[in-house]
Amino acid sequence: MSENQNIRIAVDAIVFGYQNNNLFVLLIQQKFGTETAYWALPGGLVQNRESLTDAVSRELKEETNVEVNYLEQLFTFGDNINRDHRNRVVSVAYFALVDSSKLKIKADSDAEKAQWFTIDKIPDLAFDHNKILAKAIERLKSKLSYQPIGFDLLPKQFLFSDLENLYCTILEKEIDRRNFRKKMLGFGIIEETNQFSPIKTGRPAKLFQFNNIKYQAFLSEGFHFEIKFA
């Protein structure tokens, strides 16, 4: 028996930021509809003539004033047919890592507010967005061990201790800092700069930077990035 299909496609964005040893996610408070009292992930329905990535980029810009260079598809959420009580909606979720200190967020379009929340203080979100966020955090923790994505959360130049603290924060456990430093520097994709930290406490600390060009060249030669944690 044939059935007229009435399913809408949406996109949701999980944008992670990191500052002062805290992992953040960008949330909005919706302006319209019955979910206005709830915080939610930025996102919305895909228009008829746009791609999924164009849709999620548009929604991010419209609702938070944020533009990102890279979005990775996370998962498709639609098994719960009642995840949105208004319509049958299937959501394709994307996540991004940004240097949040460089972004100026501003609520617009159908967003009443836009705000960074630390991961340990996430409120009850609209729809199934708590589930989507949990999936994104799980993916982030996993990828840290086999892809140097942590640098996307840091400024272009950073203290090595900032990188160590970032891993500890996201993984929620302490690491062997001596072995971590030896491993990271041994890859040859982190360079010591001639710049020093502006914080004047004790001995001046050198700043480091990630060399993405060298990393991409290594990848073409079969380079394997792997960090193991106890």
Provide the strand spans (E) within 84-205.
88-97, 111-118, 157-158, 190-196
**DSSP assignment of 19-56:** ETTEEEEEEEEESSSTTTTSEE-SEEEPPTTS-HHHHH
Domain limit, last residue, from 143, 171, 198: 143
Tell me which residue range forms the domain holding 157. 149-220
Which of 96, 125, 143 is the C-terminal boundary of a domain? 143
Q: How many domains does the chain contain in total?
A: 2
CA pair distance 93, 74, nearest whole angstrom = 5
Q: What is the pLDDT of residues 36-82, one digit of tens each?
A: 568 999 999 999 999 999 999 999 999 999 999 889 999 999 888 87
24 and 124 in a single domain? The answer is: yes
Dist CA 47 CA 44 (whole Å): 9
* Residue 35 belongs to some domain of the structure: yes
Q: What is the pLDDT of residues 81-94, one digit of tens each?
A: 878 777 888 999 99
pLDDT of 108 higher than 60: yes
- Whether 2 is in a domain gets the answer no
Point out the domain boundary residue: 104, 125, 143.
143
Coil, helix or strand at residue 67: coil
The structure's pTM equals 0.91
Both tokens of residue 7? 């399913």
